[in-house]
Amino acid sequence: MYDTILVATDGSDAANRAIDHATDLASSFDADLHAIYVVDTTRYGRSVLSEAGGVLEELEGRGAEVLEDVAARTDVDLTAEIRSGRPDEEIDSYASAIEADLVVLGNRGLGSGPDEQLGSVAERVVRTAGRPVITA
């Protein structure tokens, strides 16, 4: 049913639930598992990030740590990707590039308030992705 699964993470609790779910699905379907971490440049602005020496590299380093944690938590082979930009667009772009059959992500990330049922990134991915999406 699924040959390629993409899980998006920001290191949040909801993203960790998504990782567990994506890992289980990849294992069950013997699917390729990809993980993506997106540095949200829309939050800070590219000009701020480029002027503030080392900030982008620091944020990408955080992403590398999060993806290393994902790899350590799963026994499924994992392909990891770090991108910069608008998270929903980068998730969709990468999903298209790898021809993902499914995208799995947390229902809300680090930037969402506790009362939100669905965070803005998750909502945009669900609404615009050209493939099935599961939120956890």
Instruction: Write down the domain spans for the chain.
Output: 4-135
In the structure encoding, which two tokens stand for residue 31, read together? 């699917």
Is the pTM higher than 0.95? The answer reads no
Amino acid 2: pLDDT? 97
Going across the sheet that includes 4-8, the strands are: 78-85, 32-40, 4-8, 102-105, 133-135
> Where residue 120 falls among pLDDT bands split at 50, 70, 90?
confident
Which of 63 and 109 is assigned the larger pLDDT?
63
Amino acid 42: pLDDT? 83
Contacts of 134 (CB under 8 A, 6+ apart): 18, 21, 102, 103, 104, 105
Amino acid 102: pLDDT? 98
**Sign, Cα dihedral of 38, 41, 42, 44:** positive
Domain 4-135: CATH superfamily is: HUPs (3.40.50.620)
14-18, 54-58, 73-77, 81-85: which has the minimum mean pLDDT? 54-58
Residue at token pair 């790899």: 71
Mean pLDDT of the residues in the chain: 89
Does position 118 have pLDDT exceeding 70, yes or no?
no
Which of 117 and 132 is assigned the larger pLDDT?
132
Q: Helices 13-29 and 55-73 sit at what angle, rounded to 10 degrees?
A: 50
Amino acid 31: pLDDT? 98
